[in-house]
Amino acid sequence: MQLRLSDFTGASDQDYRRLQRNIDSLPPRQVLLFDGCALPPGSSPAQATVGMYKESACYAVYIEGPVRYSGRNRAMVNLSSGLHQFFRSFIEMKRFLKSLPSGAAVPEPASGPDMEEYDLGSIASVDELSLLQQATTAIPDYKTVQREMERHIIGQEKAVETIAHQAALHLSKSRPRKPLSFIMYGPSGIGKSEAAKALPKVLSRLGPHNFATVWTELNTFTEAHSVYRLTGSPPGYVGYDDAPIFEAAINNPHTIFIFDELDKAHPEVLKTFMSILDEGRCAARKELENQSREYDFHHCIFIFTSNFRLTDQAKNKVGFAAGDEIESINHEGEAVAVSYQGDMPAEGFGAVTKRIFRDTEAARKAFVEIGVLREIASRFNCFVEFQELSDKAKMQILAKQVIETGFEYGIRLTYIASAILQELINASMTGEALTVRSFKSVIEGYLSAAFAEAGAHSQGQTVRLEGTLETPSFVNAQESLSIS
C-alpha cells in the first residue's frame, strides 16, 4: 500500500516512537527517505520523496524537489517551500507532522488483484542484477551559488559574489587545511545577517552536504570567562556539564557557525578563534563523545558580522588607501592621467579572485588600525563589505517582505499595486532614510487585517493585491474576482 504524507497525521504514539528510533539510529549525515509519498490535495506533483534526519540535536523534515501547494494548511505551505523544517525536539516535529492535512492527491488504485496474489519470483529474477552506485552530488560552481544567494539577498551583488566564490572554492576541497571564515562588515540593517542565514540553506540545497547552522550573539560575550561557553567550562566550574557551542562540529562536521556583532566580543574570545581559523582545531575541556579531546573544524565555515566601517576608516587614513589604490600614473600631453585598482574590470574567475584579495587586504589593514591585534586579523580568510542599499534595492526588499507576509497568511501574491508600495515606502520613512528593519512592522500594521481576511477566503489561490493602503483589495489572479 502506498504511503501517504497524511499517514503521519493519524499515526499512533507507538508509530512515532518507532520513527524516532529509526531517525536516532541513522549514521551522521544520513537521511531516512520515504520514496513516492502521496501528498495532500492541491499538491503538484502528487507524489514526492520525504526525508527526515537529525542534525546537531535538532530534527528535520523536508520534501525533495519543487512542490506547488495551493491549499491553506500552514504546515504544508512551509514544507512545500523547499526549505528543511528544523525542530528543537522530536515532540515538536511530531506536532508539525500531525498538523499536516489529511487525505492524499493520489486516489486509491482501481479495483483489481492484490499484490499478495502475485508471485514476484516468477515474474522478475533479480539474482543477476546489480544496483547502480549512487552518484555523489556535484560541487556547484560559484556562479550557481551566487544566483541562488541573490534570490535571498537584494542590493549586495558584489558581497554576494565574494561569498559565493569563496564558499564554492571551500566546498571543492576534499581535505581543507583550515575552515573558511568571513567577516561581513558594514552599516546595520543592510543584509549581513540575512546573507549569513541564507548561505547554509543554499549550500545544503546545491552541494553534497547538509550544513547545520549555529547562531551566536557575541554581544553576550563581553567578559573574559564567557569563552568557556564556546569550548566548555573547566572541571569544577559552573556549566561544566553544559554542551559548549563548538560541540556542534562533533554532531555535524559541516557546520556553519554564525557569530553576530563581532565588535562587541571580549578580546579573549577573539583569541580563541586564532588556532581554529589557522589550524582548524581547538582543544576541548573534557573528552568528547568520539573519545577525542579536540574539536575539528576543517570542513566548517565561520561567519562573523560587524558594524565596523572598515572602508571609510581606510579612506580616512593618510598614506593607506590613497597610495595603495593607485594602479598607474601616466602623462598625457600636459595632463596627468591616474587609474585606480578599483577601475579594474570584474569579469572572469581570475579578476574576481584578484578583487577579493585586494578588498580583503585593504579591510584587514583597517581592522588592525581600529585596534584589533594583527595576529588575530591575519587569521580571517575573507572580509566582505556590505554597502548602503540603493533606493531601488530597498523598494525591492519591501516588495519581497510583502510577498513573504502573504505566505504567512496562506496567500500567494502575483501582483502588488504601485500605489500600495508607494504608501508603504512613505510610511516607512523615518529619520534620514528608509530603514529595512522597519518594513515588517509597517506591513503588519497596515495589511495584517486584510491579509487575515483574504487568507480565510482565498483557499490558497494566487491573488493580486490592488487598491490603496487605506482600502486594499485582493483579487483572484485567475478569475479577477474581488475576494475581500
Delineate the domains of the chain, giving CATH numbers in brackets.
Answer: 5-98 (no CATH), 138-388 (3.40.50.300), 391-476 (1.10.8.60)
Residue-wise pLDDT for 60-69, tens only, equals: 898 987 788 8
pLDDT above 70 for 44: yes
Lowest mean pLDDT among 305-314, 370-379, 407-416: 305-314
Residue-wise pLDDT for 216-235, tens only, equals: 999 999 888 888 899 887 77
Main-chain dihedrals φ then ψ at residue 302, nearest 5 degrees = -110, 125
The x, y and z cell numbers of residue 264, run together, are 562587541
Task: Tell how strand 335-340 and strand 326-332 pair up.
Answer: antiparallel
Q: Over range 106-127, report the average pLDDT.
A: 48
- In this predicted model, which residue has the larger pLDDT, 342 or 182? 182
Residue-wise pLDDT for 424-434, tens only, equals: 888 876 554 45
Residue-wise pLDDT for 391-403, tens only, equals: 888 888 888 888 8
- In this predicted model, which residue has the larger pLDDT, 427 or 383? 383
The x, y and z cell numbers of residue 300, run together, are 566548517
Q: Give long-range contacts, CB 8 A cutoff, 24+ apart: 391-396.
A: 391/434, 392/155, 393/154, 393/155, 393/156, 394/155, 394/425, 394/434, 394/436, 395/421, 395/425, 396/154, 396/155
At 470, the amino acid letter reads E
Q: In whole angstroms, what is the distance from residue 169 CA to residue 185 CA?
A: 21
Look up cell 512545500; give the residue. Answer: 80
